[in-house]
Chains A and B, each alone.
Chain A
Amino acid sequence: MSYERPKFRHPEAQKNKLGYTRKAYEGAISTLCAGCGHDSIVSSIITAFFEMSIEPHKVAKLSGIGCSSKTPAYFLGRSHGFNSVHGRMPSVATGANMANKDLIYLGVSGDGDTASIGMGQFAHVVRRNLNMIYIVMNNGCYGLTKGQDSATADKGSKSRKGAPVSFESIDLCELAILLGADFVARGFSGDKKQLLPMLKAAISHKGMAFVDVISPCVTFNNAPTSTKSYSWVRDHMEATATFDFIPLQQEILTEYDHGSTIPVSLHDGSVITLHKREDKEIITNKKDAINSLEEAKARDQILTGILYLKPDSEDFHDINQTTDTPLNQLTEKELCPGDEVLQAFNDSMR
Chain B
Amino acid sequence: MKPTDITNPEYFHKVVDCQYACPAHTNVPEYIRLILHENYTQAYMINWVSNVFPGILGRVCDRPCEPACRRVRVENEPVAICRLKRVASDNRDEVQPLLFRAPKKKNGKRVALIGAGPASLTVARDLAALGYELDLFDDQPVAGGFIRSQIPSFRLPEEVLNTELNYILDMGGITTHFNTYVSDIRDIMDKGYDAIFVGTGAPRGRDLPGLPGRKEGDKKIHVGIEWLAAVVFQHVEKVGKRVLVLGGGNTAMDCCRTARRLGGEDVKVIVRSPMAEMKASEWEIEDAVKEDIPIIDNHVPLEFVVENGTLIGMRFQKVKPEYDQSGKRSLVPTGEDPVMLECDEVLLAIGQQNAFPFIDESSGIEFNDWGLPVLDPVTLQSSIPNIFFGGDSAFGPGNIIIAVAHGHNAAISIDLLCQSKDTHDRPEPKVTLAGQKLGFHDWIYDSQITEDERQIVPTVEKAKTLRDRLVEVELGFPVYTGKTEAKRCLNCDVQTVFDYGLCIECDACVDVCPTSCINFIENDEEEALREKLIVPARNLDEDLYVSEILPTGRVMVKDENVCLHCGMCAERCPTAAWDMIKYSYKSPIAGDS
Contact = CB atoms under 8 A, between A and B. Distances in A.
B551 interface: yes
A288 B504 CA distance: 34
23 contacts: A5-B512, A5-B568, A7-B449, A8-B74, A8-B449, A8-B515, A10-B516, A11-B73, A12-B536, A12-B538, A34-B572, A35-B504, A35-B572, A35-B575, A36-B508, A39-B511, A39-B512, A42-B511, A43-B510, A189-B506, A192-B507, A230-B504, A234-B552
Interface string A195-238: 00000000000000000000010100000000000110010000
Interface residues of B, number: 37
Nearest to B578: A34
A1 B511 contact: no
Nearest to A23: B514
A10 B515 contact: yes
A234 B574 CA distance: 18
A42 B552 CA distance: 22
B573 interface: yes
B512 A1 contact: no
> Max chain A CB contacts within 10 Å: which of B440, B514, B564, B575?
B514
B515 A2 contact: no
Given A2-B568, A30-B512, A35-B574, A11 B506 contact: no
Interface in A134-150: none
Q: Is the interface of B mostly helix, strand, loop or mixed?
A: loop
B194 interface: no
A216 B575 CA distance: 14
Contacts of A5: 512, 514, 568
B451 A7 contact: yes
A229 B562 CA distance: 33
Contacts of B571: 1-2, 34
Contacts of A10: 515-517, 535, 562
Interface in B489-518: 504-508, 510-512, 514-517
B507 A190 contact: yes
A34 B574 contact: yes
B282 interface: no
Contacts of A13: 516, 535
Contact of B514 (A8, A14, A43, A190): A8
Given A34-B571, A35-B504, 9 more contacts: A2-B566, A10-B535, A11-B73, A30-B512, A30-B572, A34-B572, A40-B511, A43-B510, A234-B551
Interface string B446-458: 0111010000000
B322 interface: no
B47 to A, nearest CB: 28
A9 interface: yes
Nearest to B74: A8
Contacts of A4: 448
A234 B553 CA distance: 12
Nearest to A6: B449
Contacts of B536: 12
A142 B558 CA distance: 34
Contacts of A30: 512, 572
B441 interface: yes
A33 interface: yes
B442 interface: yes
B564 A8 contact: yes
A37 interface: yes
B170 to A, nearest CB: 47
Contacts of B506: 35, 37, 40, 189-190, 216, 218, 230
A36 B566 CA distance: 20
Interface of B: 73-75, 440-442, 447-449, 451, 504-508, 510-512, 514-517, 535-536, 538, 551-552, 562, 564, 566-568, 571-575
Contacts of B552: 234
Contact of B441 (A1, A11, A37, A40): A1
Q: Which 9 A-B pairs have the closest CB atoms?
A: A35-B574, A6-B449, A43-B511, A8-B74, A35-B506, A34-B572, A10-B535, A218-B574, A40-B507
B508 A12 contact: no
Contacts of B441: 1, 34
Q: Which of A30, A33, A34 has the most CB of B within 10 A?
A: A34
Interface of A: 1-2, 4-14, 30, 33-37, 39-40, 42-43, 189-190, 192, 216, 218, 230-231, 234
A73 to B, nearest CB: 15
Contacts of A231: 504
A1 B442 contact: yes
A218 B502 CA distance: 14
Contact of A9 (B515, B538, B572): B515
Contacts of B511: 39-40, 42-43
A269 B562 CA distance: 39
Contacts of A192: 507
A43 B551 contact: no
Nearest to B520: A192
Nearest to A42: B511
Nearest to B507: A40
Contacts of B440: 1
B210 to A, nearest CB: 49
Contacts of A6: 448-449, 514-515, 564, 566, 568
Nearest to B440: A1
A132 B574 CA distance: 33
A147 to B, nearest CB: 15
A30 B562 CA distance: 22
A14 B535 contact: yes
A30 B442 CA distance: 16
A43 B507 contact: yes
A34 to B, nearest CB: 5
A41 B74 CA distance: 27
A42 B512 CA distance: 11
Given A11-B562, A12-B536, A40 B73 contact: no
A48 B83 CA distance: 45
Contacts of A34: 441, 508, 571-574
A62 to B, nearest CB: 22
A284 B516 CA distance: 38
A231 B551 CA distance: 10
Contacts of A11: 73-74, 562
B25 to A, nearest CB: 26
A35 B449 contact: no
B67 to A, nearest CB: 16
Contacts of B75: 8
Contacts of A37: 506
Nearest to A3: B448
Nearest to B514: A6
A9 B514 contact: yes
Nearest to A5: B514
Given A10-B562, A34-B572, A230 B512 contact: no
A199 to B, nearest CB: 15
Contact of B447 (A2, A7, A12, A234): A2
Contacts of B508: 34-36, 39-40
Contacts of B535: 10, 12-14
A14 B448 CA distance: 25
A49 to B, nearest CB: 15
Nearest to B441: A1
Contacts of A43: 507, 510-511
Contacts of B451: 7-8
A2 B535 CA distance: 24
Of B562, B567, B575, the most chain A CB neighbours within 10 A belong to: B562
A4 B510 CA distance: 16
Nearest to B551: A234
Contacts of B505: 190, 230
